[in-house]
Amino acid sequence: MTLPRETVLDLMGLADGMLEGDAKAKAEQLVASNEEARLLVDTLRASPVGDWVRESTDRQASAAVAGVADSVMARLAADASGAVEGGVVRMAPWVRRGSRRGPAVVAGVGAALVLAASIALYVRSGSQRSDEELAPVASVAVPPVGVPSVALPAPSASASQAEAKTAAAGGVEVNAVEAPSRAVSVFRIPMGAAAAAANAPHPSSVVIWVEEDTGTK
Amino acid sequence: MGAFRRLVERNERRAFAVAFALVRDENDAREIVQDAFLRAFKSLDGFQGNSAFFTWLYRIITNLSIDLKRKPGRLVVELDEARLAEDASIEFPAVGRPEGTNPAEDIRRGEIAARLQIALDALPSYHRAVIVLREMDGMSYDEMAEAMGVSKGTIMSRLFHARQKLQRALADCYDEQIGAHPPVVARTSAGETPSEANERGGES
């Protein structure tokens, strides 16, 4: 084939119906007068390659895009709600900022709770030691091992009454103390007659039991 | 939203065809199409309407395809005929009349479809894109030039070369179909082929 490159491209344009005006007229004139040009245009027009590409591509695309519109619209809806983009859940900016400080905030709150619980425990246990007339929230007298008697004072009973009964029964007094977010128990253990006979400096012992976690003491 | 959905449905097939022509992976192409429509929706305010919607969408698809190919660790290959000759047994969408009309014809169409995919795989992506835009969408040279950001002459040159390569690769199928071997314009009167280096002008 000896046609110039520009002429070949123009003839392709003619076969594709892309030429207009003078360019089209010139190409048509060449086709009418030049066998090589005519053969090229006829071949391009008769080529099945374009049809093959179109049909193959169209079939593949038709199968592949099933559900694409639904997916696009779902993602747009998710974007509009501000929650999801690209299949990844994204938190709102203020939450993201907060999340970076999360561990520090949790630690701070925990420390504050521990401090508050400690203060409450200290105040209550101190006041009970100095002011025995304060009534415990609950009081249970547990007899020592081998002692069959059990003393169960009423919840509203005063500490002195409970202690008196405990002393009489020779058991252990348990006071449940209210504290924020912590369960606190105060055990008052009388030394008994043996300790008194031995001239112990204190007639009884107090054990403060603070639950650190659920089930942990 | 309803209007945009119709826009998606009207353009999704050719958007996929173009994306697939560029990346040659169905899943990647599907993902690119979805991302392209999402970007288009978010940028609708910036769409001036000076060009056709699909021309604008094509640019988005092209950019997303380039981004995908540039992702770290991604294997980028321009497949060649020798490599894909081994994959001739892969089933591709058949071409020609609807299936079921003639078993022998169905087989032949399946073979042509497989050969066509191999031939398309062997083309550079800018040749595949131009042939798909032209043959599937019937886009004009000017529209393709605008979409691809190159001159009309470059588009014509690319299209001509793409067709020539496909015709050569499918010469025997071509013979069966029209009963003649396709003429191949290999050389001009100046003794040189239309420059492919010139074709790639502006290709990113």
Q: What is the pLDDT of residues B145-157, one digit of tens each?
A: 988 889 999 999 9
Location of each CATH 1.10.10.10 domain in chain B: 81-199
Q: What percent of chain A has pLDDT over 70?
A: 46
What was the pLDDT predicted at B28?
A: 93
ipTM attached to this prediction: 0.72
pLDDT band at B100 (very low <50, low <70, confident <90, very high): low
**CATH dotted code for B2-69:** 1.10.1740.10
Give the integer Cα–Cα distance in Å for A173 and A175: 7
| Tokens (6 digits) for B17 | 């065809």
pLDDT of B156: 95
Q: Does B53 touch chain A (CB under 8 A)?
A: no
The boundaries of every CATH 1.10.1740.10 domain in chain B are 2-69
What pLDDT was estimated at residue A39? 92
Return the structure tokens found at B191.
Answer: 């003794």
Residue pair B19/B36 in contact by the 8 Å Cβ criterion: yes
Asked if pLDDT for residue B86 goes beyond 50, the answer is no
Fold of B81-199: Arc Repressor Mutant, subunit A (1.10.10)
Rounded to two decimals, what is the model's pTM? 0.56
Chain A residue numbers touching B93 (CB-CB < 8 A)? 55-56, 59-60, 63
The first and second tokens of residue A149, run together, are 């008697």
Please give the average per-residue pLDDT across B37-60, as a whole number. 83
Q: Do A65 and B5 touch (CB under 8 A)?
A: no
User: In this structure, are residues A65 and B20 in contact, taking their beta carbons and an 8 Å threshold?
Assistant: no
Q: A193-197, A198-202, B159-163, B166-170 — which is least confidently predicted?
A: A193-197
Of residues A72 and B199, more confidence is placed in A72
3-state SS, residue A213: strand
CB B15 within 8 A of CB B60: no
CB atoms within 10 A of CB B188: 17
Residues of chain A predicted below pLDDT 70 = 1, 82-105, 124-205, 207, 209-217
- Cα separation, B176 vs A143, in Å, equals 108
SS (HEC) of A108-160: HHHHHHHHHHHHHHHHHHHHHHHCCCCCCCEEEEECCCCCCCCECCCCCCCHH
Rounded to whole angstroms, how far apart are CA atoms B22 and B26?
11
For residue B2, give the chain A residue with the closest CA: A73
Q: How far apart are CA A27 and CA A19, in angstroms?
A: 9
Please name every residue paired with A88 in a beta bridge, in sequence order, or none if there are none. Answer: A85
| Number of Cβ pairs < 8 A linking chain A and chain B | 156
* 78-117 of A, contacting B, C-beta below 8 A: 79
Among A8, A49, A60, whose Cβ lies nearest the Cβ of B170? A49
Residue A55 and residue B17: Cβ atoms within 8 Å? no
Instruction: List the single residue in A with minimal CA-CA distance to B15.
Output: A61
What is the rounded CA–CA span in Å between residue B172 and residue B174?
5
Question: Is the pLDDT score of B179 beyond 70?
Answer: no
